Structures are given as structure tokens and as C-alpha cells.
Amino acid sequence: MVVLISGASSGLGLHTAQQLRNAGLTVVAGARSFAAGEGELDGLYRLVLDVRDEESVRRFVRLAVERFGPPDALICAQGVLCLNAAAEYTDQEVNDVMDTNYYGSVRLIREVMPHFIQAGKGRILLFSSINGLLGIPFQSAYTASKHAIEGWAECLRMEVRPYHVSVCLVTPGDHQSGQKRYRRHGRSDSPESPYHQRYLRAVGQIEHDEATGSDPDHLGCVIARALTRRTLPERLLIAKPDQKLAVLLHKLLPIRWFSRIISTYYKQSGAKG
């Protein structure tokens, strides 16, 4: 099985690519940072990929097909996060998040789908998030991008089913994957922002949850097993029990009650540090 995966230089994308390789799959890994060196390394075939650039996406898919033939699966695992108050985001900050997380997936699937249609089969896995199912303070741009992926994938699934193409939403909770190193911060990180103190407490809680999060290699193993099953599930919710509970409560509780619970959770100052 030939699998194309974006965002494969770090974080959950890298761990997923490694576990796919360990499962014996042929992995073509894409990331911007691979400009330093393309080709095979540690069992992964690396190609430069900037999902924000349509020509880069075309080159990535073209070179992968030339080297390994038509792909059997595509995993869109790229992602960026900018923390800020919803009312303080600049247009550029929101655009950067949407361009990578959402439009990047649109570009990749648009380029790969003709190969799937010609083959009469294919599998698409889109990285959503718990944030794609509920809101979290100071992550509104990221949450919006994941909600967009959720809705878009639902439409995509109905449209590609006649071509025997399956669509799966990968929904991770917090994982220990080094997100802090790549995190961007907006105006709320400044003491001049009226949101600053609440922002710091929320960021402290976010970082605490990630530091104590799930094993990213486990996530990669779950995805590898799903890809090799006869039927691809429509969703893989890979999260700790408390985060799965939050998803359930979001469905069951009145929004006012749920918002109070989440707001209180992210006001905890004990996790800051």
C-alpha cells in the first residue's frame, strides 16, 4: 500500500508516518522542511510539500506517482495553531491557520482524487481534532479550521463513495508531540491585551494537558491498523477518557452549561508554569 502523508516532519504527522512505515506500508512523506534534503531516509521517502502552494502540491503528488505509482491512501496531517483571543486575531493570523489546516487539505485531495477515480478505490484520512467537535478558549482560529474540515469531509464522503473512495476523520485529543515548539501567539500574549491574564491561565492549562497527553506513537498505530482493515471507519476518536467525555457532554448538555464547565476548566491557574 502506497500512502501519501502531509505534515510529516514533526508532531502527530511524523509519528503517524513512522508507524505506517513500521507496519510495512510504503510512505511518501511531505513537509516544507524537507527542502533540506529529499529522498529516502529512515524508511520514509521524503518530498518537499507546502500545502499552501498549489504548484508544490502538484509536484509532490506527481513525483510520488512517478516513483511509486498511484497512491492507495492520502493522509492530511498538516496543521498550525495560533493562540489568541477570538476578538484579537488579525486577518493574517486567521488566514494562515485556515490556509494550512483547511485549504491545504482541499488542495491535496483535489490533486489526488483523479488517481483514486481512475483506480476505482482510495482512502482519505483527514486530521480533525477534538476542536473540530467543540470550542476551546483562545483557539478559535484553529477550532474554525477544524470545524471546516468536519463539514467539508461530510460532503466529500457522500460525493466520492460512488468511486469506492472512503473518508475518515482522525480526531485526536491532546498528545505529547512537541506542539509547543511550533506554536504561534497573538496579541493576547501581550500585557496590553485585556484578555492577557485569562489567556496566560488558559495557555498554561493547554500546555499542561499536552505534556500529560497520550502517546503519539499509539495514535500512529491506530491509524496504521485502520488503513489495513477491510473497511475504513468514518471516524477515529483517539483521546483520553476525559476528553471523550467532553465530546459527549457537548452533545448532551445545554450550551450554556457546557460553556461554563469548559470556561472554568481553562481558568485554572494551578496548571500554569
* CATH code at position 221: 3.40.50.720
How confident is the model over 10-53, as pLDDT tens digits? 999 999 999 999 999 999 999 999 988 899 999 999 999 999 99
Count structural domains, the chain. Answer: 1
Catalytic residue among 102, 142, 195, 199: 142
Is 270 domain-assigned? Answer: no
Is 271 domain-assigned? Answer: no
- Is position 142 annotated as part of the catalytic site? yes
According to the model, what pLDDT value does residue 213 have?
83
Among residues 176, 221, 171, which one has the least CA distance to residue 19?
A: 221
Is 46 domain-assigned? Answer: yes
Write out the residue range of the structural domain in which residue 150 sits: 2-265
Q: pLDDT averaged over the chain?
A: 93
CA distance 188 to 138: 9
Is 170 domain-assigned? Answer: yes
Is 43 domain-assigned? Answer: yes
According to the model, what pLDDT value does residue 268 have?
63
Q: Region 128-144: what's the mean pLDDT?
A: 95
According to the model, what pLDDT value does residue 271 have?
43
Is 161 domain-assigned? Answer: yes
Q: Which three cell numbers stand for residue 159?
A: 460525493
